[in-house]
Every structure is written in C-alpha cells, then in structure tokens.
C-alpha cells in the first residue's frame, strides 16, 4: 500500500512538471496581453484627463474618467499579482528541473568516469587480443568483439547525453535568471500602481467634494441631458417604425427583403467582433442604470455606451448600412441613425455630419466629427438596436479598439 502511494506521488510530480510549462507559457502570454491593453487604456485616459484639465473647470466628465482610470488600475494590479504568482510557480518548477538535471548529471558523470577508467586500463591492443583469443570458440570471440564495440558506442552515447544535459541545464539557468528579473520588474510595477491608485483615490475624493458644492447646477444639467436622451430615443423609435413601414409597403408584407435578411444575418454573426465607432477611445459610461457619481439617491440610465476620445475624432460606421435619419438634438449634438437589415446603430454627440439621409455607407466610413465642449470633453454616445429593442453595445463590439 505504501509502495502504491509512493509510486502515485512520483507520477503526479512528474506529470505536473511535464504539463506546467505549456500551461504557464499560455497563461503568462494571455496575462501579458491583458496587462499591455490596460496600460494603453490608462495612458490614453491620462491624455483625455490632461485635455479636460486645460479648461481649469471641475466636471462630472473628469470624475467619470478618474473613476474609470481607478477601475483600470485595480484590474491592472490584479493582473500583475496573477503574473507574479505565475512566474513564481514557473521559477519553482524550473528550480525542480535544475535539481533533477543536476542529479541525473552526477549519476551519468560517475557512471561515465567508471567506464572510462575501465577502458583506460584495458583499452590497448594487447589486452583486446588476449580477451578475444581467450574465447572458447569463434562464436564467443565474435560476441566478445561485439561487446567491446558496444562499450565504445555506449561511452560515446553517454558523452553526448552529458553534453545535452549540460546544455539543458545552462538553458534552464538562463531562463531562471530571466524569470527572476521579470518578476522583480513586475513587483516594481505593482508597487508603482498601488502608489498611483492611492493618489487617484485622493484626487477623486477632492474633486467629488468640489462638485458636491455645485449640486443645483448638476441637477439642472442632468435634467437637460435626460430631456435630450428622451428626444433621441423617440426619434430612434420613430425612424425604426418608418423604416419598417416602408419595408412593409415595398414587399407587401412585414417580412424583410432577401438582401435585408442577409445583412441582418451578417450583422448578427459579427456579434462581439464589430469594430469600434472611433479610432481611439475608452468607455466613459457603460450600458444600463448607474448611480450618479456626485448626486446622492439619483440614478442615471444609459441606453448605450459613452466613449471618451480625443479632440478632432470622427465617428465611424461599425457595419455597412444606410442612413435612415439624422437628428439634430441641439446645435452641438447631432445623431446619425444607420439601418443594417433589422438592426440599427446610433451615433450621437456629433458636431458636424458627413452623410445624408438614405445614403449607403461602408464599414469604417466617417459619419461626422464628434463635438468637443469648452471643457475639453469629446465623447460619442453609441447605441445598438434590434428592431425596437435596445442592446448592450459592449456585447457587440470587439474588446480592442482597433
């Protein structure tokens, strides 16, 4: 029973060592890609906050960006911790492998030395001849000759094995040194990120206190935004109803035409793979109902996602389609509604529109210039609809901006 348990334990350790490197490399690569993506997003958010700070005004938009950056930094710290843990496991496994190689090398070298010493003492023509001619018959002499050849071949093979194991050991030691250096770099990054996180949380608290003193203005601004949102939703529903009516009149039924069915199917098949409606940007407000970042007991509803981007950025079509409506909500907030079969996408917050009603557009085609406020805010509001039902755009867009 003890022998069975011991054998199982040895098998488990061997199996773990064999599978860990592949898993570890894949896991490390995935974590590194996520970390680099978050680092780019944080850098871009820093750029956006710098643009906003130029106005010297405290805004809810800046608070949202700081909140988002704090969230990104927290996720980054979690990933760094996972990377460090993975590297620690890799370092431990590499250490075990080096110890195993040392044991094997010691055994091989002792064996090699013993055989080499034997051959040194006996490997001369006189001794070989005595060994061969002292055989009882020709068959035994032939077997002894083969034996001597096999010993020579074996020692050459063992010398090669020792050389290969020495190279493996050298490679493992190099990897160990590299992994330890990378672990130290990650630990330094983690320390920096934790320090930055504390500073940002302090900055968030100070900005929130300042904005709390502007509660009346914030409520007035929120009411205005809600009116604009309701007006946009009404125009979207109206555009969808008109498009459905036109399709029904054209086909004499409520069914879509063959080309529209194909377009709808292709759009649906691209769920999670649609390009972003901007070249560069970060999500400043997600889909759904949220607590107001400053006003207590106040909820805000977002029918899509808001994407913070740089001044001068263009809104781009995420999929081929046709323009069914252009809505002027305010002088600095124009919305373009595109139809893709029985799916619709909405691009709001435009200053200048580059397309016309009923125009066909291509994927990535520029639809209009995104408005930049006096406070440096450049933000696109983006929605996805399936017939008359709202969709969460985050499920439709690919994870990376580009």
The three-class DSSP label of residue 387 is coil
DSSP state of 371: P
**Dist CA 58 CA 306 (whole Å):** 19
Q: Which among 351, 255, 337 has a CA at the least distance from the CA of 304?
A: 337
Q: Same domain, yes or no, for 145 and 30?
A: yes
In degrees, rounded to 5, the angle at the alpha carbon of residue 58 between the alpha carbons of residues 54 and 63 is 105
> What pLDDT tens digit does each residue of the chain (402 aa) get?
444 444 444 344 444 444 445 545 557 778 888 888 888 988 898 888 888 888 777 788 888 898 889 998 898 899 888 888 888 888 888 888 878 878 877 877 777 777 667 666 655 554 555 555 565 666 765 665 566 566 666 666 766 777 777 777 777 778 778 888 888 888 888 888 888 888 888 888 888 888 888 888 888 888 888 888 888 888 888 888 887 777 666 655 556 777 888 899 999 999 999 999 999 999 999 999 999 888 888 888 999 999 999 999 999 999 999 999 999 888 788 999 999 999 999 999 999 999 999 999 999 999 999 999 888 899 999 999 998 899 999 999 998 755
The three-class DSSP label of residue 287 is coil
What is the domain count for the chain?
2
pTM of the predicted model as reported, rounded to 2 decimal places? 0.71
Q: How far is CA 366 from CA 44, 260, 318, in A?
A: 22, 22, 10
Range of the domain at 365: 252-395
DSSP state string for 76-145: HHHHHHHHHHHHHHHHHHHHHHHHHHHHHHHHHHHHHHHHHHHHHHH-SHHHHHHHHHTSSSHHHHHHHH
Boundary of a domain, candidates 212, 242, 276: 212
- Whether residue 234 lies inside any domain: the answer is no
- Whether residue 246 lies inside any domain: the answer is no
CATH code, 289: 2.70.70.10
Boundary of a domain, candidates 161, 186, 212: 212
DSSP H/E element including 175:
helix 138-212
Q: Quick one: pLDDT at residue 51?
A: 86
Q: Quick one: pLDDT at residue 372?
A: 92
């Amino acid at each position: 029973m003890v022998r069975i348990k011991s054998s199982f334990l040895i098998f488990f350790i061997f199996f773990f060592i064999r599978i860990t490197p592949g898993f570890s490399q894949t896991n490390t690569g995935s974590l590194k890609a996520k970390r680099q993506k978050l680092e780019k997003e944080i850098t871009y958010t820093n750029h956006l906050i710098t643009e906003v700070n130029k106005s010297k005004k405290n805004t809810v938009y800046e608070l949202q960006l700081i909140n988002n950056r704090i969230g990104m930094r927290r996720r980054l710290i979690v990933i760094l911790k996972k990377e460090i843990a993975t590297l620690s496991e890799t370092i431990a496994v590499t250490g075990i492998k080096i110890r195993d190689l040392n044991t094997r090398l010691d055994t091989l070298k002792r064996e090699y030395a013993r055989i080499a010493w034997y051959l040194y003492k006996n490997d001369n023509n006189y001794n070989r001849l005595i060994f061969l001619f002292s055989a009882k018959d020709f068959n035994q002499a032939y077997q002894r000759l083969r034996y001597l050849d096999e010993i020579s071949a074996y020692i050459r093979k063992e010398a090669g094995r020792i050389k290969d194991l020495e190279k493996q050991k050298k490679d493992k030691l190099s990897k160990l040194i590299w992994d330890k250096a990378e672990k130290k770099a990650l630990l330094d990054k983690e320390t920096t990120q934790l320090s930055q996180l504390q500073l940002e949380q302090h900055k968030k608290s100070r900005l929130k206190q300042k904005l709390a003193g502007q509660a009346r203005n914030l409520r007035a601004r929120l009411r205005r935004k809600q009116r604009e949102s309701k007006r946009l939703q009404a125009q979207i529903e109206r555009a969808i109803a008109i498009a459905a009516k036109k399709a029904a009149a054209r086909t004499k039924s409520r069914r879509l035409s063959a080309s529209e069915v194909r377009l709808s199917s292709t759009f649906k098949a691209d769920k999670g793979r649609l390009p972003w409606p901007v070249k560069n940007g970060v999500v400043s407000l997600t889909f759904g109902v949220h607590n107001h970042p400053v006003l207590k007991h106040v909820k805000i509803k977002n029918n899509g996602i808001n994407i913070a981007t740089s001044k001068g950025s263009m809104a781009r079509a995420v999929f081929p389609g046709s323009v069914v409506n252009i809505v002027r909500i305010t002088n600095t907030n124009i919305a373009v509604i595109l139809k893709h079969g029985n799916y619709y996408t909405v691009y709001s917050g435009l200053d200048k529109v580059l397309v016309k009603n009923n125009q066909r557009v291509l994927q990535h085609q520029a639809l209009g210039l995104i408005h930049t406020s006096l406070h440096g805010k450049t933000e696109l509001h983006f929605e996805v609809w399936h017939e008359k039902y709202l969709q969460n755009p985050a499920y439709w867009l690919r994870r990376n901006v580009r």
